[in-house]
Amino acid sequence: METQQLYKDNCVNIISKAPMPDEFKWHVFYTYPKSEKKVADELAKDGYEIFLPCKLTIRQWHDRKKSFLVPLFPSYLFVKAPKNKLYYILKYNNICSFVKFNDKPAIIREEEIINIKKILGLTDDIDVTNEFQCGDKVKITCGPLSGLEGFIVRKNGSSKFAVRIKELMQYITVVIDAKHMLNENFDYTLI
């Protein structure tokens, strides 16, 4: 099986020459730190299509500058694979787990992969954030407030969860860890 590795548009896109049936979907695997490229190479040798989006970073020392391609999503690797191979892929060295949503393996739509590639092709000035933005509609996913819906507001320089009491034209705000909130505006695709 022949593979080729592309370093174009600031991404490592390893393309296997093996045909990819329709049941192959994009999944996200979490790797040990700084192991993404090594894992990508190993998976590609076994015929998987891999996408590792990278950005160009310049590091400066007192005597020189050097350019590096670093993963856009550190420790994450996109792998196109069928659902029945996910646990097999977990056995590879330096893979910790696959990303789940509602206790099911998360699927990344092909359109999302294409969008990432388009963005990478436009600019080198790219940042990734997992922070909620002011105004995002969110839902609490665990704890005593589980299921409660509200939105993010900014008060005294910090983000807070707010619930509107419409009849009183008042808001209740509370600080809640972002890991306990789900962005309701985001379209998640599940298996």
User: How do residues 152-171 score in pLDDT, each as one tens digit?
Assistant: 777 666 667 666 655 445 56
Residue type for position 27: H
Residue 133, pLDDT score: 73
**In this structure, what CATH number is given to the domain that contains residue 112?**
3.30.70.940
Residue 191 covered by a domain: no
Judge if 116 and 178 occupy the same domain.
no
Instruction: Find residue 79's DSSP bridge partners.
Output: 27, 50
Judge if 145 and 115 occupy the same domain.
no
Nearest to 181 by CA among 112, 115, 132, 122: 132
Domain span at 153: 137-183
Nearest to 40 by CA among 31, 32, 50, 30: 50
Judge if 58 and 86 occupy the same domain.
yes
**Distance between CA atoms of 37 and 53, rounded to whole angstroms?**
10
Name every residue whose Cβ is closer than 8 Å to that of residue 136 and which is 6 or more positions away in sequence: 151, 152, 183, 184, 185
Nearest to 128 by CA among 185, 74, 75: 74
Residue 127 covered by a domain: no
Could you give the C-alpha distances from 27 to 7, 23, 44, 171, 182, in angstroms and in order?
A: 21, 12, 14, 39, 19
**Distance between CA atoms of 54 and 5, rounded to whole angstroms?**
13
pLDDT band per the 50, 70, 90 thresholds, residue 115? confident
Residue 187, pLDDT score: 45
pLDDT band per the 50, 70, 90 thresholds, residue 175? confident
Domain count, the chain: 2
Judge if 142 and 57 occupy the same domain.
no
Judge if 14 and 103 occupy the same domain.
yes
Residue 62, pLDDT score: 87
Judge if 98 and 166 occupy the same domain.
no
pLDDT band per the 50, 70, 90 thresholds, residue 188? very low
**In this structure, what CATH number is given to the domain that contains residue 165?**
2.30.30
Residue range 4-19: mean pLDDT, rounded: 49
Judge if 23 and 71 occupy the same domain.
yes
Residue 22 covered by a domain: yes
